[in-house]
Amino acid sequence: MARKVEHSMLTSAKTSKKDEFYTQLSDIERELKHYKNHFKGKVVLCNCDDPRVSNFFHFFSYNFERFGLKKLIATCYKNQEMDLFSENKSEQAIYLEYTGDKNGNNVPDVNEIGIKPLKGDGDFRSKECIELLKEADIVVTNPPFSLFREYVAQLIEYDKKFLIIGNINAISYKEIFKIIKENKAWLGVNMGRGISGFIVPKHYELYGTEARVDEDGNRIVATNNCLWLTNLDTAKRHEDIILYKNYTPEEYPNYDNYDAINVDKTKDIPMDYKGTMGVPITFLDKFNPDQFEIIGQMATTKIDEFNFGYPYVNGSKIYARILIKNKRLWT
């Protein structure tokens, strides 16, 4: 029941434009440690962040030298109404630039951070924010759930490296699934419970069994329904899934509506099946592009070149599936 409530709350956030889900520092630290080698000499942009309260800006400014960054830029969207950080309500959109510690105290002091005004409201789609995007090498942030498709499309258009947070349901979006299938983006290291929760404003409902208020008074909701999406490679992405089971038609029935067998758990993928297999969406967390090819998905009722409708087995609808083939058996 709690899972259903969590899912519906994120869906509601998307439709009502309640996009104020602020990432915890601990979750940023847990994910970023896997990508350190990508950042040396790079310009990092956090373009969906109020840098005065953003944990992304906090992380990169305090780890600037350790990651070997060239520059850190963060933009602030002009708030139109009171929010979680009402005491920091901005009358003008700004952006911050930080180029590292200058006085040797290893702390990003106020006089070391350049604060510059923006002419517009700081929307990532604005011309001046796009100019900042062009300057960046890597974008790291938690973009608005309601604008996720548009946000990712912009990153692809400007050929940017990125590490961003999104809803697991975004995998089924045609535009997102396309770049995953084409190996232009993939899941990061942590997803689901690997992202421990988001800080939300006071007027947001604390929903789900794991909602809490932390020792600093932050209101936390644990959606257990989010992921990191990236095009930064890691060694983990190239680790084989260990396969040990053999195919039998009894254990792996065919779908009623597509020529593929059903596999209920990633660990149960048969090691000797050459055809197309449907696996749980969580397979993408372990997907090795050297071992498997993604064929498509069965995730929504809408049928297109990537999606083939919800899967049915013996007349019963089952959970969404990713369609794959084992490369090692046909190469």
Q: Which two tokens stand for residue 136?
A: 């960046």
Encode pLDDT of 260-285 as tens digits: 999 999 999 999 999 999 999 999 99
DSSP state of 307: B
What is the rounded average pLDDT of the residues 304-320?
95
Encode pLDDT of 103-124 as tens digits: 888 888 888 898 899 999 889 9
Cα 170 to Cα 177: distance, rounded to the nearest angstrom: 8
What is the rounded average pLDDT of the residues 153-180?
95
pLDDT value for 241: 97
Cα 60 to Cα 63: distance, rounded to the nearest angstrom: 5
What is the rounded average pLDDT of the residues 190-200?
76
Cα 146 to Cα 61: distance, rounded to the nearest angstrom: 28
Exposed, middle or buried by CB within 10 Å (0-12, 13-18, 19+), for 283?
buried
Encode pLDDT of 228-254 as tens digits: 999 999 999 999 999 999 999 999 999
What is the pLDDT confidence band of residue 192, given thresholds at 50, 70 and 90?
confident
Among 122-131, 146-155, 192-201, 297-306, the minimum mean pLDDT is found in 192-201
pLDDT value for 191: 79
Encode pLDDT of 56-97 as tens digits: 999 999 999 999 999 999 997 765 443 333 344 556 788 999
How many Å separate Cα 328 from the centre of its chain? 29
pLDDT value for 331: 57
Strand, helix or coil at 146?
A: helix
